[in-house]
Structure 1
């Protein structure tokens, strides 16, 4: 039996891509999943796919940029399952892509609101539930862009840098209360976001051949490991999918 068996885990932005594959992987290991997305149709489709394979999932509409929407989602999950054991902050946008003076200010602010403020909203709404239980895991989807700027990605880089500090702040303030906070960089993965990146052609990442991109199932397996009790070893840290120890622990092949 997996130590994820019976755990209640919320995944933001999980209608497709890394979020959807992670939901499937966690459900496969016995967790109950709250699949959340701005589109309830997308969330239901992902939740139905999990149910079709015998897993447990509920679809909940949630716009992470809207605190009231996030609080409503958390309330619905608690009503359905009674508690929340884990949160994966996966929801993010890459737009606007462009050099700073060419970007739309409203789109720039929207990226910060989704990628950083949205993650804060989810943390703020779920932390009291976890603290009441005396334990919980929060995994924030980080990126190499949090530490290394890339041309055309000023909003994305800034938001991910802020998210890395949010992870450290959660650990500082609540680590002693049983809360495990981890930042996880999934690498360059074949998702819808990468399609937009390739279309832009603005930096080296956009020119990577699609064949070189990882399948979303790879970070999904690493995320499942980080949500398990064993993931506690990375509390307060930023960990990369290329980390040899993480790959071995998560059952992934070594990086070539």
Structure 2
């Protein structure tokens, strides 16, 4: 369906009741209304794909077009095949701008989510849970913008930041674990993915660990390998963490796409 794309909270009071009762109407937030009817200049009867971040999509048509309040008529629910490969980036938090770029690229390339980590060399810290919630809210805006750009409507997970050790303790839920590493024992990423895929049963979850600015410490590398992460190299050059995340994710997404 050609047309515009707009984020919609299907769980909000008005929209939840509308969907539950089969009323067939969705009301966009003031921010989305302003973007759709102001910045993008959408008008009444224009086609819109309304989406959330859980993989739900509705084909709609604008019935009320105002920068203060946009209302959509639901034409149909869009069903899309779910991928049988979910690839996550476990990213030790870099500076704000770099992480925002990692979010955008991860959505556009096709990650299933990003797990923000607090490691020893992480420069970003949170004063309290309220501060972390503010960051999450800001990061969600970048996810939404990337979905609009890429039309990648698959669900995308972004949990609250967690400690490095806590993450490793919970990493057993993944079927493939790789660590973008500068260590000498690292193997080429495609070689490691090929070995890991030989006995892989779909659907599966893979996780790529990316260090922060300043890299992981030796003890963190050791802990990751003890938890089952396979060290991989992305080539002979030393990359910034946002470049490494994009490179590793692109390799993994394309590798499993053709398998």
TM over 0.5: no
* TM superposition score normalised by structure 2: 0.36
Greater helix share, structure number: 1
Using structure 1 for the length normalisation, give the TM-score.
0.37
Which structure carries more strand by proportion? 2
